[in-house]
Amino acid sequence: MATLCRPAVSVPEHIITIDDTLALARSLHADHPDLPLALRLIENTGVRKRHILQPIEETLRHPGFEARNTLYQVEAKRRVPPVIQRALDDAELRQRDIDLILYVSCTGFMMPSLTAWLINTMGFSSDTRQLPIAQLGCAAGGAAINRAHDFCTAYPEANVLIVSCEFCSLCYQPTDLDVGSLLANGLFGDAVAAAVVRGSGGTGMSLEHNGSHLIANTEDWIAYAVRDTGFHFLLDKRVPTTMEPLAPVLKALAHQHGWDAADLDFYIIHAGGPRILDDLSKFLQVPPDAFRFSRATLTECGNIASAVVLDALRRMFDEGGAHETARGLLAGFGPGITAEMALGRWSTQGPRGGRG
């Protein structure tokens, strides 16, 4: 049974607080007709601080798409390897034990993918499979876990390394002044995360069942417009309403597995914003505290895109995990509108596995 082990997470050293964000919005957009609405929305995100790659003065500059993407590549190569090493250590595996590297990111572009560089520089076997996922946005964390589960189902002794690298601050666009963009400027943060899915052995979430769902005709609700200046984030005001149609999907997935989605022991949910968690609590009929790990990520880091579910799971580990065979749900939501969902039990199977 494939087990999602303890994630390792790292955030950049530069911090912007909610007070800093509000002050900047008032200063930069003093004449904006919707400034009061934008300030209210930012205040209601529940985000208290975020970590960003550069000092705020540099973040607000736009030296051009090429310069930003170059910085993405440099910082990914600097920050990703130590996070990977911690994730491998936590899973009690070595580089040569990894059969597939899944790299997820929606905030920069590299070809070949960072996976090739990691194999060449970190000692992974040259026959390690590579699977970059670039266009699922915040849902990619859940998608990576599900594709790792699928791979380990096909190859039961295999091990998969998941890497998420999200530098959302490099997507700041000073000319995007719609309310959705102003809200995004106060919501997203930067982070790097990694976790291993072991085909056998390991402590963590033993993955049993997964599924995907696309809400029809919502492709333009979360999207990028790719222009000369880079990625311009588009966020429709209807996005916070998506838990009403997705909650029944989560219930149906659990029902297929013989479980009740309202009666599980733990929940690891993508924290896109507070209403996502509030509505899901209501529609699944679970107490708000059930999403405490996701809320903590949102409060302390903001929306860190595909890294959210890994950081929330890391917080669960920090709390001591769960009792053996505790049942749980993990879900990521993103562009499409897409949901990537997984069910599993807490397991402490020990250190078996690896190529030897």
What are the Cα distances from residue 106, in Å, to 61, 65, 134, 270? 20, 14, 5, 15
Closest-CA residue to 15 (of 48, 47, 45, 52): 52
Query: Cα(294)–Cα(312) distance, rounded to whole angstroms?
Result: 5
Residue type, 176: D
CA-atom Rg of the chain in angstroms: 19
Asked if residue 164 lies in contact with residue 316, where contact means CB atoms within 8 angstroms, the answer is no
Asked if residue 339 lies in contact with residue 332, where contact means CB atoms within 8 angstroms, the answer is yes
168 is catalytic: no
Contacts 24+ apart (CB under 8 A), 290-296: 290/266, 291/267, 293/267, 293/268, 293/319, 294/267, 294/268, 294/269, 294/270, 295/46, 295/271
Task: Read off the tokens for 344.
Answer: 């599993």
Closest-CA residue to 187 (of 316, 13, 308): 308
Question: What is the 3-state secondary structure of 260-307?
Answer: CCCCCCEEEECCCCHHHHHHHHHHHCCCHHHHHHHHHHHHHHCECHHH
Neighbours of 283 (CB within 10 A): 18
Query: Cα(339)–Cα(28) distance, rounded to whole angstroms?
Result: 35
Q: Which of 138, 152, 165, 171 is catalytic?
A: 138
Half-sphere exposure of 86 (CA within 13 A, CB side): 14
Q: What is the dihedral of CA 141, 147, 150, 155, to 10 degrees?
A: -110
Helix ranges, 33-130 (H): 35-43, 56-60, 65-91, 114-122
So which residues are the catalytic ones? Answer: 138
